[in-house]
Amino acid sequence: MSDGLLELSGVTRSFGALTAVDGVDLSVPVGARHALIGPNGAGKSTLFKLVTGSMPVSSGTVAFDGSDVTRLSEPARARRGISQTLQHSSLFLSQTVERNVLMAAQRRPGGSRHSLLPRRQRAARDRVHELLTDVGLAGRSHALVSALSHGERRQLEVAVALACEPRLLLLDEPAAGMSPAESARLVGLLKALPDTVTLVIVEHDLDVVFALATSVTVLHLGKLLLTGTPDEVRASSAVQEAYLGTGREALFLDGPASLDVSRPGMEVG
Ligand SMILES: Nc1ncnc2c1ncn2[C@@H]1O[C@H](COP(=O)(O)OP(=O)(O)OP(=O)(O)O)[C@@H](O)[C@H]1O
Ligand SMILES: [Mg+2]
């Protein structure tokens, strides 16, 4: 086993006859800013679920910080420092913004659900406000989540994920539905994260990917097509074909950066 924080070896997940994730090997070092891209249905969200443990692998192993965690439950993996935001939101809509982050902070390793000490409560609240300021929601602490805009909810999801003090943060399409200003803010926030947080991000907005990632993995039909630097990925004809079909390379290189291909095989342009 090499020394990545996250090490995937032959990771496979089938749904009946469909192999959604097919023999993926991947090593993500500590402090990486790693992007996972690929057309719709490539298996990106499924791969995240196999890493967090919200879904079991069909075969293969998931190792985290040198230990095999393949058989560990999702909460057990979370306690070791694996945290994610989901493609589809998991916020508590009827609670306030502040309360959502506070509840996540209480779930982190060492977090206490029952601390009645005013000093600890104050410290916890201060930390929540720091996180909300970082994600640009400082003025919204007391709003109900149900009253937030789509972009604000995505910002809140990042704050919730960070409140767990993750060592590995998995973000599934955090910029989806955000305005350009909101996604620029998100990139700034993620760029400012300390190296102690290793980041793996699934994102269709290639502006976000290339602004952030120092390494990129491309999945296609469940298989790992390529892992390389952003430049290697941009230059790969296999990647261009997977995304766009032949003859559309110029779009990938120079055209609209957001390739939200809403159906497999659908052309962009
Ligand atoms: N629970 C499930 N049961 C059956 N098939 C599933 C299930 N989850 C995912 N799939 C299938 O597995 C494949 C990969 O899906 P996945 O959601 O991982 O793709 P993705 O790369 O995240 O796509 P997108 O970019 O659209 O989010 C798809 O064909 C999908 O229909
Ligand atoms: Mg997905």
Q: Which atom of ligand 1 is nearest to the CA of 87?
A: 27
As given in the structure block, the two tokens for residue 23 are 């023999």
Tell me the mean pLDDT in the region 193-214.
91
Residue whose Cα lies nearest atom 9 of ligand 1: it is 46
Domains, the chain, in order of start with CATH, read: 1-81+167-182+194-264 (3.40.50.300), 91-165 (no CATH)
Give the CA distances from residue 183 to residues 44, 173, 174, 199, 205, in Å, rounded to whole numbers and listed in that order.
20, 11, 8, 16, 9
Q: Which atom of ligand 1 is nearest to the CA of 219?
A: 21
Asked whether residue 114 carries a pLDDT value surpassing 60, the answer given is no
Q: Which atom of ligand 1 is nearest to the CA of 222?
A: 14
* 175 CA from centroid of ligand 2 (Å): 13
Residue 155: closest CA among 249, 171, 241, 198: 171
DSSP string, 36-100: EE-STTSSHHHHHHHHHTSS--SEEEEEETTEE-TTS-HHHHHHHTEEEE-SS----TTSBHHHH
pLDDT tier, 57 (very low <50, low <70, confident <90, very high otherwise): very high
pTM across the whole model? 0.84
Residue 78: closest CA among 111, 52, 100: 52
As given in the structure block, the two tokens for residue 250 are 């110029």
Q: Are 57 and 50 in contact (CB under 8 A)?
A: yes
Tell me the mean pLDDT in the region 116-132.
83
Q: How many CB atoms lie within 10 A of CB 67?
A: 12
Q: Are 100 and 160 in contact (CB under 8 A)?
A: yes
Pocket lined around ligand 1, Cβ cut-off 6 Å: 15, 18, 20, 38, 40-46, 87
Q: Are 8 and 26 in contact (CB under 8 A)?
A: yes
Q: Which of 19, 44, 172 to mutate to test the pocket of ligand 1 (most atoms within 8 A of CB)?
A: 44
Mean pLDDT highest for which of 42-51, 72-81, 98-107?
42-51
* 45 CA from centroid of ligand 1 (Å): 7
pLDDT of amino acid 134: 84
Q: Which atom of ligand 1 is nearest to the CA of 47?
A: 18
Asked whether residue 56 carries a pLDDT value surpassing 90, the answer given is yes
Residue whose Cα lies nearest atom 31 of ligand 1: it is 41
Asked whether residue 88 carries a pLDDT value surpassing 80, the answer given is no
pLDDT of amino acid 234: 86
Total residue length of the chain:
269
Cα gap 228→236, rounded to integer Å: 10
The strand ranges marked E within 111-245 are: 168-172, 198-202, 215-220, 223-228
pLDDT tier, 124 (very low <50, low <70, confident <90, very high otherwise): confident
* 159 CA from centroid of ligand 2 (Å): 20
Cα gap 128→163, rounded to integer Å: 7
Cα gap 258→203, rounded to integer Å: 9
pLDDT of amino acid 136: 85
